[in-house]
Amino acid sequence: MSDHINFYFDIISPYAYIAYKKILKINNVDFKLKPILLGGLHNLAGITAPAFNKYKMKNMQNDCELVSKKNNISFKWNSRFPINSLSIMRGYLCVKDDKKEEYLNSFFEAYWKENQDLSNKDTVKQMLKKLKIDDNDFFNSINKQDIKNKLKELTQEAFDKEVFGAPTFIVNNKIFWGQDRLEYALDEIKNI
């Protein structure tokens, strides 16, 4: 039986942002954050992302705005969606443990609340400066082979567990996909 909930996420997912904001309000459950590269996961699973289907994209945008409003989460659809999140997700693995939460929250909010262009290196540098993270160390670290491998391994781990999207929660080897399944994951861990 699991004593925690695994949370598979990518900054590029608006639903992962919504789920993360919900998680921040939960104090009595241990969440293990599992960064993945959603594009890589989709490639492994042979899935075309909703972002590349105009009908799904329109619905997803409306849905995210509706869900965010219902949950009192500040949200603004990013005009540059989708971007390649590789550097940001590798960055999460690079930053020190005591900076991970602040890093993740800052990048999620910059993209899904402030409509910032996170594909712009200067924007990322400004954010790192505010977080007191050395940008030279950051950009060197995200290109190290061990960090590249770690993100690939976490993405492969997700795929091997039959995760196909983000956010996904896993408790007791049960998969709960989507921000609207967080409550079910919480019920599962509370029944332990």
The 3-state DSSP class for residue 4 equals coil
Cβ–Cβ < 8 Å for 50, 102: no
d(CA 128, CA 11): 16
Give the pLDDT confidence of 152-192 residue by residue, as tens digits. 999 999 999 999 999 999 999 999 999 999 999 999 998 76
The per-residue pLDDT for 48 is: 84
Does pLDDT of 27 surpass 70? Answer: yes
Q: Which of 6-20, 40-54, 71-85, 170-184 has the lowest mean pLDDT?
A: 40-54
How confident is the model over 14-43, as a mean pLDDT?
Answer: 96
Write down the pLDDT at residue 192: 61
Mean pLDDT, the chain, whole residue set: 95
Burial of 135: CB neighbours in 10 Å, binned 0-12, 13-18, 19+: middle
Q: How far apart are CA 61 and CA 129, in angstroms?
A: 31
Please report the pLDDT score of residue 50 as a whole number.
79
In this prediction the pTM is 0.95
Higher confidence at residue 63 or residue 47? 63
In percent, how much of the chain has pLDDT > 90? 90
* Predicted confidence (pLDDT) at residue 151 exceeds the cutoff of 70: yes
Own/partner contacts of 172-177, CB < 8 Å, gap of 24 or more, are 172/1, 172/2
Q: What is the DSSP string of 61-83?
A: HHHHHHHHHHTT------TT-S-
